[in-house]
């Protein structure tokens, strides 16, 4: 079996251990305070991985639910957060369409982890989200809409993070797959040095680029989500009013009757 980095949640966590989860949770909370039209009790993360915000959100009084397709990630999160009260709910499933027994008041997806490859998958995902999100609740999308064209990007980013004797070196590349269908692949190459035991992973994520005008059109064709706003740099004082030089864009939608 071909193992991917997501099968090793502890390496994934080292790779992203530079993130400030308290600050990220504060930002989610400020979106809720400013834009939610319902009180928020339960928060839902799509593609939650190791559920990195579970503790910070629980500390702020929310109940946390995460969805992921990878069993190892969910088992890791379950064990890591076993001390929290209420215990995080963790659901195994595919974001395109999944079963759920509850409804939630706020939903989010981080780091562009919206893996939808065509309009049918987008519709099925938003149908499912409309079923789980209570009316008035927000859907927060981090880096999921492409304000700069990934298909024109030809470069690579890399960084190394070390924690507890484990060094994780990440390199990101982008490859065009099909210009007409706006398909591209992100290749994330990871080299791990775990106390001198070396491993290498190559993660290829195929995605359809979603550009802002197309996304607004998509929402307009649906009646169950409204556009609330988009901002750059995770800063609610920086609304996006032209599409140049946009870094780390967030988009907020609201579930409406429909
Ligand atoms: C980059 S990680 C993001 C983890 C977490 N949200 C965070 O902020 O660190 C992406 C996650 O998406 C999950 N994933 C990939 N495809 C998925 C799908 N179709 N449905 C649900 N989860 C998926 C992977 O297993 C992985 O845990």
Give the CA angle between residues 70, 73, 75 to the nearest 5°: 105
Domain ranges of the chain: 5-147+211-255, 150-208
- Any ligand 1 atom below 6 A from CB of 70: yes
Please tell me whether the peptide bond between 74 and the residue prior to it is cis, using omega within 30 degrees of 0: no
Helix (H, G, I), strand (E, B) or coil at 162: strand
Q: Which residues are CB-contacts of 173 (< 8 A; sequence separation ≥ 6)? A: 156, 186, 187, 189
**pTM: predicted TM-score of the whole model, two decimal places:** 0.96
Tell me how long the chain is: 258
How does pLDDT run across 166-182, given as a tens digit for each residue?
999 999 998 889 988 88
Using the atom order of ligand 1, give the atom closest to the CA of residue 51: 5
User: CA of 126: how far to CAs of 6, 120, 177, 212, 218, in Å?
Assistant: 25, 10, 25, 16, 10
- Any ligand 1 atom below 6 A from CB of 54: no
Give yes or no on whether 5-147+211-255 and 150-208 have one common fold: no
* Among candidate residues 61, 143, 54, 120, the one with its CA nearest the CA of residue 90: 54
What's the pLDDT score for residue 154? Answer: 56
- Any ligand 1 atom below 6 A from CB of 111: yes
Q: How far is the CA of 142 from the centre of ligand 1 (A)?
A: 13
Q: How far is the CA of 29 from the centre of ligand 1 (A)?
A: 22
Residues of the chain with pLDDT under 70: 1-2, 151, 153-156
The CATH topology of domain 150-208 is: 2.20.130
DSSP 8-state symbol, 95: T
- Any ligand 1 atom below 6 A from CB of 68: yes
How does pLDDT run across 96-148, given as a tens digit for each residue?
999 999 999 999 999 999 999 999 999 999 999 999 999 999 999 999 999 98
CATH superfamily of 5-147+211-255: Vaccinia Virus protein VP39 (3.40.50.150)
What's the pLDDT score for residue 225? Answer: 98
Helix (H, G, I), strand (E, B) or coil at 243: coil
| Burial of 223 (C-beta count, 10 Å sphere; 0-12/13-18/19+) | exposed
- Any ligand 1 atom below 6 A from CB of 52: yes
């Amino acid at each position: 079996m071909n193992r991917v980095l997501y099968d090793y949640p502890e390496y994934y966590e080292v790779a992203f251990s530079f993130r400030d989860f308290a600050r990220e949770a504060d930002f989610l909370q400020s979106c809720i305070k400013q834009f939610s039209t319902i009180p928020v009790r339960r928060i839902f993360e799509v593609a939650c991985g190791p559920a990195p915000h579970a503790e910070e959100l629980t500390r702020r009084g929310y109940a946390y639910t995460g969805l992921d397709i990878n069993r190892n990630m969910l088992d890791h999160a379950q064990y890591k957060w076993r001390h929290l009260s209420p215990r995080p709910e963790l659901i195994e499933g595919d974001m395109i369409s999944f079963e759920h027994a509850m409804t939630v008041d706020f939903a989010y997806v981080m780091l562009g982890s919206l893996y939808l490859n065509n309009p049918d998958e987008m519709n099925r995902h938003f149908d499912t989200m409309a079923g789980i999100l209570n009316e008035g609740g927000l859907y927060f999308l981090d880096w999921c809409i492409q304000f700069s064209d990934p298909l024109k990007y030809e470069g690579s980013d890399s960084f190394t993070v070390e924690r507890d004797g484990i060094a994780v070196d990440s390199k990101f590349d982008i490859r065009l797959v099909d210009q007409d269908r706006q398909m591209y692949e992100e290749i994330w190459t990871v080299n791990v040095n775990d106390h001198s035991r070396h491993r290498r992973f190559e993660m290829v994520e195929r995605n359809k680029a979603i550009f802002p005008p197309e996304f607004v059109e998509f929402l307009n064709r649906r009646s169950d989500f409204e556009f609330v706003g988009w901002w750059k740099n995770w800063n609610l004082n920086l609304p996006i009013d032209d599409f140049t030089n946009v870094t780390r864009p967030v988009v907020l939608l609201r579930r409406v009757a429909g």
